[in-house]
Amino acid sequence: MSFPSTGQGLSKLKKKHFRVKHQKVKLFRANEPFLSVLMWGINHTINELMHVTIPVMLLPDDFRAYSKIKIDNHLFNKENMPSHFKVKEYCPMVFRNIRERFGIDDLDYKESLTRSQPLPDESSGKSGAKFYHTSDKLFIIKTLTSEEVERMHSFLKQYHPYIVERHGKTLLPQYLGMYRLTVDNAEHYIVVTRNVFSNHLHTHRKFDLKGSTVDREASEKEKEKELPTYKDNDFVNEQMKVYIGEEAKSKLMETLTADVEFLTKLHLMDYSLLLGIHEVERGEMEMARERELEAENPCGDSDESECGSGFDQRIFGMTTPPDSPNAIAQFVREHSLQYEGGIIPELDIYAIPSCDSAPVKEIYFVAIIDVLTHYGVRKQAAKAAKTVKYGSNVDGISTCDPEQYAKRFIDFMNKAIE
């Protein structure tokens, strides 16, 4: 082995003490083993993708492809992670392309999902799915059934071309990655989506709207939650409206109509419009109160590593260096104070401010959710049962064929938005 000429003898080099700087290794600490495995898995799969050439175009095989890794007798970080686990990522090239279409950098995606453990979200549907949000609240993690994974595979083949055609301009869920995690011989299927709500503006009210009236009100149990999910009858009874003005309404309805037509063609129904409302005046008061508390107790009960962190680190959970290529982290670092108390367009992509003539100043977050229900035999049977119970008025029952569902959905939203 030859040494570079340094003008010093080899003996001098030997005498010099070199301290090796080891890169800090992520520990993936989480309360649940499957969350530790999820963090490890996303870190691994994104790192692997960095070495794969981006294809000019996706091929049919990419929609059937997967990457898989099995870990046995894993000794490192054993107090946080199980010794045996498996991670499978579905359609990695497709989801990488989708993330790119939605302007999400893979390093940002990895950082959000692995920097700290995802936190449980109290949202839950009839399906019994579990929800988590990343520590920076940019992404939502939802558990799926194996049947839903099959539906997602089928849906992806139509969804990806639609996203390309619309140049990412859609209110459909932004599906960003799908995985199977095998931990303690139990399989967990999960999908990652972008969070509809803001990660720095509080959501004060939340509605799940389908355009139907039968059994469409929040239960007493739901109303006890810190942020209940209200439904169509609650919205109508409170004489609620979304005040965004004619121009914004026209753009919103165009996107909403295109998305609903796409879902109808695929015979999908039972989707909802998720509406979050941020009350600006209340939000400003809350922010002022938070500043007061921080001034009184700057480090409070926070973790030592977060003590003294700026707005971008405290709210967004990102500590990337100034030369980081991570677009979201860099944008937040440069512009967070400029937009404090208001919309950050690059992050709050679903946000629409209320118009000047609105009774109160609000910011609305609007998106379509739960789009994978196919109008098959089961739904047709449910429609027949509800028709017997409630009569043939399809305006009331939530279970009807996709065309009727779509028309009623759009009509309701058209009336709800001003």
pLDDT band of residue 31 (cuts 50, 70, 90) is confident
Residues of the chain with CATH 3.30.800.10: 33-194
pLDDT score of 388: 43
Helices (H), 166-320: 220-223, 232-237, 246-265, 280-296, 311-316
Q: How far apart are CA 190 and CA 188, in angstroms?
A: 6
pLDDT score of 11: 44
Residues of the chain with CATH 3.30.810.10: 205-281+349-416
Helices (H), 317-401: 327-335, 377-390
pLDDT score of 7: 46
Give the type of residue at 70. Answer: K
pLDDT score of 81: 83
pLDDT score of 309: 35
Given the residues 108, 136, 208, 270, select the one marked as catalytic: 270
Distance from the Cα of residue 214 to its chain's centroid: 29
Beta carbons of 29 and 117 less than 8 angstroms apart: yes
- In order of 103, 315, 335, the CA distances from 318 in angstroms are 18, 8, 14
247-256: per-residue pLDDT in tens? Answer: 999 999 999 9
Given the residues 110, 137, 142, 383, select the one marked as catalytic: 142
232 as an active site residue: the answer is no
142 as an active site residue: the answer is yes
Options 3.40.50.1980, 1.10.510.10, 3.30.800.10, 3.30.590.20; CATH for 33-194 is 3.30.800.10
**Dihedral Cα 286, 290, 292, 294, nearest 10 deg:** 180
Fold of 205-281+349-416: 3.30.810
pLDDT score of 313: 39
Query: Which range, of 19-28, 146-155, 193-202, averages the lowest pLDDT?
Result: 19-28
pLDDT score of 332: 52
**CB burial readout 166-188, b (16+ within 10 A) else e:** eeeebbbbbbbbbbbbbbeeeeb
Average pLDDT over residues 147-152: 94
- In order of 63, 77, 95, 178, the CA distances from 45 in angstroms are 17, 19, 12, 11
